[in-house]
Structure 1
């Protein structure tokens, strides 16, 4: 989908031209000693120490970040701005990928709230109820597309959204 759905290569969102930002990510499974992208790497860190050893620092995996991105979009669909706002406030400093998806979900849910309020106000006219149905269907479809993109590790940008939170 356009230049906004690129494979996630690092922890920085794409710039205004859709290119990935500078790489500042932690080494992933393919960067580990003996790690082949297809075999999931080993349990050892690049320096040879066992990361699963007691007292070893916990490293958030890419899968965890992808899961949180999905939660932002699905949670936004179910609970409006609550889930994306909580994810944004708790994880914005830890992961650029989660921050991006939480921000997108939050901005989109604010847009849906505004559009829903306008549609509700217009229900006194014949156009109000069909408009409300369209708002709900667009919310459903776009949230599912965003959640799927987040699950694939892609950066996603809603095509229709007020950009209030950055």
Structure 2
């Protein structure tokens, strides 16, 4: 099995694909809030739950990166970090949303896996 994918044992429904994709898109605009809501409310759907966990882990990782970059703005390196983190957030969330809408599992690279 590929390291960037997690197992899904049940067939994926269209509603599940949509909710998982919207969780990722919501992460672009609202941070960790959409993924936390979906994580708490959709425990009965393993596909959506796995995407919500991954999106929540990604959001936490991005927030930590923003905090570090904010501290580093004192020496002007943080501005580059904030820009690159924002760009990576948009790109990875779009890739994950497209993958989720196809009904496929996706794991992002460089993520702190705090929620298991």
TM-score, structure 2 normalization: 0.92
More helix by share: 2
RMSD: 1.6
Structure 2: distance between partners of 1:165 and 1:72? 16
Match of 1:4 in 2: 4
Return structure 1 stretches of 4+ with deviation > 2 angstroms: 2-5
Unaligned runs of at least 5 residues, structure 2: none
Match of 2:54 in 1: 104
Q: Within the alignment, does 1:73 sit opposite 2:28 as a pair?
A: no
Unaligned runs of at least 5 residues, structure 1: 6-12, 15-19, 29-60
| 2:111 match: secondary structure | coil
Deviations 1:78-124 (A, max 9, x none): 111100000000002x1110000000000000000000010011001
Larger radius of gyration: 1
The count of residues paired between Structure 1 and Structure 2 equals 115
- Residue correspondence of structure 1 range 1-166 to structure 2 within 5 A: 3-5=3-5, 13-14=6-7, 23=9, 25=10, 62-92=13-43, 94-166=44-116
